[in-house]
Amino acid sequence: MTAKRASATSPTIWTVLKWTVAILAAVIAVFPVWWMINVVFSEPGQPVSINPRLWPTSLTAGLQTVHVIFAETAYLHAYMVSVCYSVLTIAGVLLFGSAAAFEFALFDFPGRRIIFGIVMLALMVPTAVTIIPTYLLTADLGWLNSMQGLVVPGLASAFGLFMLVQFMRAIPADMIEAARLDGASHLQIYWHVVLPLCRNAMVTLAILTFMQTWGNYMWPLLVGTSPDMYTVGQIVGMFNSPLSHQTVEVVMTANLLAAVPPLIFYLLFQRKIVEGIAMSGTKG
């Protein structure tokens, strides 16, 4: 009897709770970003400390600040550098990483375990250890202030390999065997069978790689010393330096502008993630 009553009322309690928690969490996740947008698009000259900026007050003031920043810094050029840096890195990480992961996850060959073990060990060495030796190497190659200097040293991502191997291990061996019996070559199996299956993981890795390269500060700082190689991070760094005499709106605008391409990238790719999830869902 009690069980019956519980089943009658609990769905509504559950629903109310579900909605409350979901909305609360959404507010916490989004509000800081909303707040920053409000700081940018607000009446100029009003200090943040007496006006906590719960909504935007002036679109034109924000656009004016954006205009000033674009005029005074090479922000647009930095966008281009950052986009090239990210896109090339993503392409390389996905291509080289998936090819290697394909072998490590699905086949056995002499030395497989030991080579994979070494790569995994390297995953645990903090980049701060290798940054100076890698920098010296890049300088010796004559790659300072060049796109290849920015991109190439980061292409062999141990993390990407680890992640793709984890996902590819779930692919049933029968599937590979069946494809082989159908007469598919090694490369064809990789390209037509395995890659489509781990599209989901590839998209996730692409997003992660994008975030890492877009937010990467130290490496571009060392390699791209001349202004025509400045990334967005470096431009923002100039505004964020503690003794910068910029006001809050300007600093926040410079920061917000850095987030615009990731936000666009995210909106574009969110659908891809959903598709990927849906695909693997029907499979299960």
Q: In the complex with other proteins, which residue's Cβ is closer, 60 or 225?
A: 225
Q: In the complex with other proteins, which residue's Cβ is closer, 173 or 243?
A: 243
Least distance (Å) from other proteins to the CB of residue 90? 14
Q: Is 47 helix (H, G, I), strand (E, B) or coil?
A: coil
Closest CA to 140 of 63, 223, 214: 223
Task: At 179, list the tokens.
Answer: 């494809």
Closest CA to 155 of 63, 234, 92, 232: 92
- Count the Cβ atoms, other than its own, within 10 Å of residue 275: 13
- Count the Cβ atoms, other than its own, within 10 Å of residue 133: 9
Q: In the complex with other proteins, which residue's Cβ is closer, 179 or 273?
A: 273
Using CA atoms, how far apart are residues 131 and 111, in angstroms rounded to an integer? 28
Least distance (Å) from other proteins to the CB of residue 88? 13
Least distance (Å) from other proteins to the CB of residue 178? 18
Least distance (Å) from other proteins to the CB of residue 94? 11
Q: In the complex with other proteins, which residue's Cβ is closer, 60 or 241?
A: 241
Least distance (Å) from other proteins to the CB of residue 162? 8
Helix axes 248-283, 59-72, angle to 10 degrees: 100
CA 154 to the chain's CA centroid: 14
Q: In the complex with other proteins, which residue's Cβ is closer, 79 or 159?
A: 159
Give the chain's end-to-end CA distance (angstroms, integer): 37
Q: In the complex with other proteins, which residue's Cβ is closer, 33 or 178?
A: 33
Please report where in the chains the tokens 């930095």 appear, as a residue: 78
Least distance (Å) from other proteins to the CB of residue 103? 5
Closest CA to 189 of 275, 276, 99: 99
Using CA atoms, how far apart are residues 37 and 196, in angstroms rounded to an integer? 39
